[in-house]
A and B are shown apart, each in its own frame.
Chain A
Amino acid sequence: AQSVSQHNHHVILSEAASLELGCNYSYGGTVNLFWYVQYPGQHLQLLLKYFSGDPLVKGIKGFEAEFIKSKFSFNLRKPSVQWSDTAEYFCAVNSFQKLVFGTGTRLLVSP
C-alpha cells in the first residue's frame, strides 16, 4: 500500500528564512502529488499539485515543489517565509483513487 513520509515533524524558522519540507512516497507507479496547508482553526487548503509535465510546480503564496521521480520525492519549498505561514503542512499522494496523507509538518515562523 502507498505510504507517505514527512521527515520533519516540527520546524521553527525566523521570518525571511528559506523553507524546505521533505516528502517521500513509497509506490512508484503513476501518482498525483499534493501539498495541503492547515492554518490554525481552519480546514485543509490546497497549496499546489502535480499531475504531469514540468516537475517544478508553483503554488499559491510563493510555495513551490519539485517532483523527483527517481527519489520518490515531492519536497515543498519557499524562499522566504512569513509569520503568516505558521501552519501545518501535509503532503499527500493520490494512487488508486485514494488520497494518502503524510503525518504532517508543523511549521512555526517567529517574527
Chain B
Amino acid sequence: GAVVSQHPSWVICKSGTSVKIECRSLDFQATTMFWYRQFPKQSLMLMATSNEGSKATYEQGVEKDKFLINHASLTLSTLTVTSAHPEDSSFYICSARRGINYGYTFGSGTRLTVV
C-alpha cells in the first residue's frame, strides 16, 4: 500500500509557458502533501506543504506566485510552475503521508526542462 503517483515524469516547455504537475495518492487519503525540488547532485529541498482545502505553506525563499499549489482533494495536489524560465529546470518530487505513524511516500518525480 501507500502508493503516490506523479505525472508527468518529464516535460519540456518553452520559456514563458506554465506547466502543471500532478501528485496523487492512489490507495490512501493525504490531508497533507509536500513538494520538493532536487537540483543535480544535491538533496531534496522542501518547497511547500500542500494542505487539502486550504492554502499551501511555502518555505522561505520560494515564490508562491511562481509555484502555485492546489490541493483540491484528499488524493490530489498539483504544482503549477508559472511563466517558466530555464532556471526553473529541475527535478520536482511530491510526497504524501498516510498518518503521523507512517513514513513519507514519494512520487517518482517530474523532470522539468525549460528551453
Question: Which A residues fall within an 8 A CB radius of B?
Answer: 34, 36, 42-46, 49, 51, 90, 92, 94, 97-104
Contact = CB atoms under 8 A, between A and B. Distances in A.
Nearest to A35: B103
18 contacts: A34-B103, A34-B104, A43-B93, A43-B108, A43-B109, A45-B106, A46-B103, A46-B105, A49-B103, A90-B43, A97-B49, A98-B34, A98-B46, A98-B49, A99-B95, A99-B104, A101-B45, A102-B43
B103 A103 contact: no
B42 to A, nearest CB: 7
Interface in B16-74: 32, 34, 36, 42-46, 49
Interface string B81-115: 00000000000010100000101111111000000
Nearest 4 interchain pairs by C-beta: A44-B106, A43-B108, A46-B103, A103-B43
**Best-surrounded residue of B42, B103, B105, B106 (most CB of chain A within 10 A):** B103
A97 B95 CA distance: 13
Given A51-B101, A97-B32, A103 B42 contact: yes
Contacts of B101: 51
A51 B102 CA distance: 9
Contacts of A103: 42-43
B37 to A, nearest CB: 11
Nearest to A90: B43
Contact of A99 (B42, B46, B107, B108): B46
